[in-house]
Amino acid sequence: MKIFLAQQNYHIGNFEDNTKKIICAIEEAKKQGGDIIIFSELCVCGYPPRDFLEFDDFIDKCYAAVDEIKQHADTIAVIIGAPDKNTKPKGKRLFNAAYFLYDRTIKAIAHKTCLPTYDVFDEDRYFEPAYEWNVIEFKGKKLAITICEDIWNLGDNPLYKICPMDELMKQQPDIMINISASPFDYTHDEDRKAVVKATVIKYKLPMFYCNATGSQTEIVFDGASLVFDKYANLCGQLPSFDSALQSFILKDDGTIDGPVIEPASRIPDKELNPLTLEENLNIEKIYAAIVTSIKDYFFKMGFTKAIIGSSGGIDSAVTIALACDALGASNVKAVLMPSQYSTNHSVEDAEKLSNTLGNSYEIIPIKNIYEAFLAELKPLFKDLPFSVAEENIQSRTRGNLLMAIANKFGYILLNTSNKSELATGYGTLYGDMAGGLGVLGDCYKLQVYSLARYINRTEEIIPENIIIKAPSAELRPGQKDIDSLPDYAILDKILFQYIERRLGPKEIKSQGFDAVLVDRILKMVNINEYKRNQFCPIIRISPKAFGVGRRVPIVGKYLG
């Protein structure tokens, strides 16, 4: 049996484009003599559709797309993902479904059982879990079709009461097929591979696993679809962060034609921290995920040009380099906005970066604008000492200039704030926190440095002086980040334990961190939720990013 995996990049609600992609892949698979072609979870409408699912018109368009696609499922069986209406009087009105199309008809529909409600997932809000499980017979084989999370419960996941594959095994299937929309984070690729392999080992059946690729606002899908034979040999893996169509020959004995690929060893959770990412070769995937997300955000929103505030610091330098890779240097404009507190080398470093990358840049000094603000505020401020108020005026002046240029010329402002800054509130609302997309908002400061070294892996693109100099906001004479924040080498480790691992203060202190420092940092994180709540979408590359996947109260008192 010749089985195709169609790993594609979908656009939420763009039924015409999604349907066209699906049909093109079907026609190509038919030309190559395919028996079955498999697409990813909710491919018809794009994942995650969220509250679009509450609109009858949206669901009607899903059904219309399925009807159009099924006309091409004549000599080949097609497995696609789309919502399915619940005809029962009780329960949610929809199922998350896999449609099995053949002979231009809907032969069967499988419903998703395990509906994730953690992190970025909220499927129980929209979908009813499956209440029956049936294999699908095709050309003498029994297919067990599951959807994404369904294979993450092997009977020992406390989140779920039902193990779908256990139910399907009662009907003695020959093949497991899983359609998925499994997001990227820097731990998930190996976790996913381990889960798929464990499923194969448990049930002793071959597995065809098709994942989505591309980015939907903050969530990135890396593809990396998998094929295992019944002996748990990895026989195929599609590329990461790219569309692909690939066929596999499944033999009657459960083996698969093609070379056996040894899976990489899974990285134990206890070893994961911001300092080991580069050693574990995840930095390359983080880079690819961010570039993919920028590219898709602009393309799917109909944008073409980005504008970035260029300070001569590490965050803006890395953001500009990423944007140039994603959009092309000709579509990226950097704006240097020095004040009287800016150092000469910062301007020189920023200019050198743009000259190397080939992106255009402008220099707009803010001294006169800043002093005009102070002159107007003089009757109110009187002779009060210089404070954060004057610092924030500079930052908001820069934000105003960037947004003015963006509005005038149709640019989208990319934000350069990193996760360490966002966690501790080290940023100015409506100033350096302005932007349409947070490029580095899920990267700790040390990860930003790792990205810089990765960018410079073959040649010096980011000037070495940007990488080695002490980070500073340059909002007052001689200012350094360390004046307001702990050293990043310590700060990032503590933040990681609290945000990603959700450890409490006692557990973090027991690891040897200074107790007073831990209390100070955790308080900073919690009292600054009001800032993060007003921040732009952040590209998610970690298991716990700020944004939709981390929901904490703004007015809470916990550890504050």
Task: Give the integer Cα–Cα distance in Å for 490 and 93.
Answer: 49
Task: Give the integer Cα–Cα distance in Å for 307 and 400.
Answer: 13
Please give the radius of gyration of the chain, using alpha carbons only, rounded to the nearest integer. Answer: 26
Q: Which of 45, 114, 148, 536 is catalytic?
A: 148
**Does the annotation mark 148 as catalytic?**
yes
Kindly tell me the sign of the dihedral angle through the C-alpha atoms of 487, 490, 493, 499: negative
Task: Give the integer Cα–Cα distance in Å for 210 and 227.
Answer: 9
The answer to whether 295 and 270 have CB atoms below 8 angstroms apart is no
Give which of 194, 206, 171 is closest to 38, Cα–Cα. 206
Runs of H (alpha helix) within 425-534: 445-455, 464-468, 488-499, 505-509, 515-527, 529-533
Task: Give the integer Cα–Cα distance in Å for 450 and 467.
Answer: 10
Q: Which of 112, 285, 352, 531 is catalytic?
A: 112
In the chain, the largest separation of any two C-alpha atoms, in whole Å, equals 87
Q: What angle do CA 442, 446, 447 make, to 5 degrees?
A: 45
Q: Which of 21, 41, 163, 529 is catalytic?
A: 41
Task: Give the integer Cα–Cα distance in Å for 414 and 85.
Answer: 40
Task: Give the integer Cα–Cα distance in Å for 411 and 331.
Answer: 9
Task: Give the integer Cα–Cα distance in Å for 30 and 260.
Answer: 26
Task: Give the integer Cα–Cα distance in Å for 130 and 450.
Answer: 44
Strands 437-438 and 411-415: parallel
Determine phi and psi for 333, rounding to 5 degrees.
-115, 130
CA distances, 350 to each of 314, 338, 457, 549 (Å): 10, 11, 19, 34
**Does the annotation mark 41 as catalytic?**
yes
**Does the annotation mark 112 as catalytic?**
yes
Phi/psi class of residue 140: alpha, beta or left (left: φ > 0; alpha: ψ in -120 to 50)?
left
- State the catalytic residues: 41, 112, 148
